[in-house]
Amino acid sequence: MSRSARFRELFQKPPFVCMGAHDAVTAMLAEQAGAPAIYVSGFAASAIVAGQPDVGLLTQTEMFEHIRRICRVTTVPVFADADTGYGGVLDCQRTVRLWEEAGASVLHLEDQAVPKKCGHFAGKQLVSKEEMQQKLRAMLDARSDPDFFIVARTDAIAVTGLDDAIERLEAYAAVGADGLYADAPESVDQMRELVRRLKPLGKPILFNMARSGKSPFLSLKEIHEIGFDYALCPIEPMFAMHKAVKEMMEIFMREGSTNAVADRLTPFEEFNRFVGLDRAVARERKYAE
């Protein structure tokens, strides 16, 4: 069974989380921890690949290579951010083909205007509902695997309000989007209203569990009780890495040693086992005999 087909199977037993991974190591850790799917965030990719904020600077091919590196080291389905599709309808078609080639099984396309911004930043602007519908139709036509899952995302809540966000998602569902996602609802009441009005469409509804954004922070169980089918935990692994590495480096520069953080460092041998040194040595030995 393909990874895309396996992703669709996850909806038979909701809720589930797509755990954020910002590089090959965190993707491997997510799978090892039991994550049923992995999420590749544009916010995280902008920081990791370019050292830049999520303001639409990363190119289509840079994101493609980033996704491909993650897909190579994992076996679970990979859900990869596609921002605005990187241009017009033909660019959107190229995006879905590249994401499939990279090994992803899912993407979300957002209705922001260029330059796009992280969904939890101020100053977002939207394209028309009709332009987004055109992009979605183009993407749906371009996918080669019918199980590849295309999520329509709207950023309208912060720009034009909740009613417009819901109307947009209804329009995106009408052209065949597989799933629906309104980013950055600002209260539990808004979350409940989204679910109440979108559930009759019969499309899985996604929630972004980013802990420090605009949305309420709830557990996976709590968001499922409201009516969401699955969730992203998109950037917390990167934030955990940033804090841990920052503290380690500051301590070393202050004390000239890692003694104070030794208990927080993975031993050399354990890390080598994690990245497969034993398997690599065994493969090499096979051809030397």
* Residues labelled catalytic: 39, 54, 81, 83, 108, 110, 118, 153, 186, 208
Phi, psi of 39, rounded to the nearest 5 degrees: -115, 130
Instruction: Output the six-digit token pair for 219.
Output: 């557990």
Q: Is 104 helix (H, G, I), strand (E, B) or coil?
A: coil
**Maximum pairwise Cα distance, the chain:** 69
Q: How far apart are CA 132 and CA 116, in angstroms?
A: 14
Of 24, 79, 75, give the one whose Cα is nearest residue 48: 24
Start-end of H helices in the chain = 3-9, 24-33, 42-45, 60-72, 89-102, 129-142, 162-174, 188-198, 220-226, 236-255, 268-274, 277-288
